[in-house]
Amino acid sequence: MFSKATEYALRATIFIAQKGTEDNKIGIGEISKAIDSPPSFTAKILQALRKNNKIIRSVSGPNGGFYMTEKMRKLPVRAILEAMGENEMLDKCVLGLEKCSETKPCPMHSKYKIIKEQLIELFETKTIQHLADDIKNGAVFINNKSK
Amino acid sequence: MFSKATEYALRATIFIAQKGTEDNKIGIGEISKAIDSPPSFTAKILQALRKNNKIIRSVSGPNGGFYMTEKMRKLPVRAILEAMGENEMLDKCVLGLEKCSETKPCPMHSKYKIIKEQLIELFETKTIQHLADDIKNGAVFINNKSK
DNA sequence: ATAATTAAGGACAAATTTATCCTTAATTAT
DNA sequence: ATAATTAAGGATAAATTTGTCCTTAATTAT
């Protein structure tokens, strides 16, 4: 569905929301280990989420790392997707037709549209905080390892 | 959602279903022009759909080209997706977690699952024929050009 | 039979995505 | 102030996807 970069962005952000606070920041090493992603590549992604999109924060130096403010945690998942350039995906015709639209639909359009709207609704109503809380409540996971 | 290769596969197959019969085969030139796709790349894809998956047929030589049998036209859209290796996509966790499952779900799992099931249902019930007929009936399009 | 036409298939090229490594800058603790 | 720690950022590499081109094989029309 999404690129690997976006998958890492989602996992990392959720992890930071769950564990990182201003006085307990999390390093890229811990993050990439926890979410099973390549550290340097993940770092790049987090840099962008910070600099361009203000979805997370970071500070350098000892005890530095990443964290999120209350406000940031309340952003919808969609904000991450948007930041990662996945807006096009959520907009796009299944058949890849540039010109597909309500007035000139492709043969999948009407049925696909209904499903896509649910997807968008989901990404817009679920906040990062919600997902982090679910993990804290213990019913749900974000790591990729067996145990 | 899907790769470009899959988009071309879907469009080309629908176009062949709509226009190609055993005694009126369609050449790769006409196909790629109609669906706005790179001819050689599209040819590769159609070769595979023919050889490995028997979703379309072709014959070389003058008046050669691609066509589909009745039976082939009745295949669900899902058959094309499967042929193009998109099964994993329809199965995969939104967050890209290898281990995400009913018993060890990611925080998006339960809601995402419901939507994905609708998507699969759609691809399994819609046949290639259905889509081709919709175009013939004139309400719906598959070309990418303005007029 | 020969020539013409069209798909099959192989080799290769370009573009994009994913990933690594190294140096620099910022921040903190001593 | 100095040393240690950690993210920022640039350069580059590897892998994958997308795309092209050319030769070969199959088929048909003459």
pLDDT tens track, chain A, 147 positions: 999 999 999 999 999 999 999 999 999 999 999 999 999 999 999 999 999 889 999 999 999 999 999 999 999 999 999 999 999 999 999 999 999 999 999 999 999 999 999 999 999 999 999 999 999 998 899 987 654
**What is the distance in angstroms measured between the alpha-carbon CA of B16 and the sugar C1' of C2?**
32
Give domain status of residue B143, yes or no: no
- For the cut 80, the answer to whether the pLDDT of residue B90 exceeds it is yes
Residue A109 lies in a domain: yes
Residue B144 in domain: no
Residue A67 β-bridge partners:
A57
Domain with A42, as residue range(s), is: 4-136
CA distance B26 to B13: 11
A86 → chain B, closest CA residue: B1
In a domain, B146, yes or no: no
CA pair distance A143, A147, nearest whole angstrom: 9
User: Is the residue at A142 inside a domain?
Assistant: no
Kindly state whether residue B118 falls inside one of the protein's structural domains.
yes
**CATH code for the domain of A25:** 1.10.10.10
Measured distance CA(B6)–CA(B46) in Å, rounded:
11
pLDDT for residue B82 is more than 50 = yes
Phi then psi for residue B66, to 5 deg, are -110, 150
Whether residue B30 contacts residue B46, with contact meaning beta carbons closer than 8 Å, is answered with no
> Which of A57, A26, A24 lies closest to A39, judged by CA?
A26
Nucleotides of strand D within 7 Å of the protein's CB atoms: 4-10, 17-22, 25-29
Straight-line distance from CA B2 to C1' D20, in Å?
A: 23
- Predicted confidence (pLDDT) per residue in B19-52, tens digit: 999 999 999 999 999 999 999 999 999 999 999 8
In a domain, B113, yes or no: yes
* Nucleotide with the nearest C1' to B7 CA: D18
A57 by Cβ neighbours in 10 Å (0-12 / 13-18 / 19+) ranks as: middle
Specify the residue for token string 């679920």: A126
What's the Å distance between residue A94 CA and nucleotide D26 C1'?
Answer: 35
In single-letter form, the type of residue at position B127 comes to T
Which residues from chain B sit within 8 angstroms of residue A104, using beta carbons?
141
CA distance A96 to A84: 20
Cβ of residue B62 lies below 7 Å from strand D = yes
B142 domain residue, yes or no: no
Three-class secondary structure of residue A65 per DSSP = strand
Mean pLDDT of the residues in chain B: 95
Domains in chain A, number: 1
Look up the ipTM and state it. 0.93
Q: Do A141 and B1 touch (CB under 8 A)?
A: no
For residue B141, which of A93, A89, A91 has the smallest C-alpha distance? A93
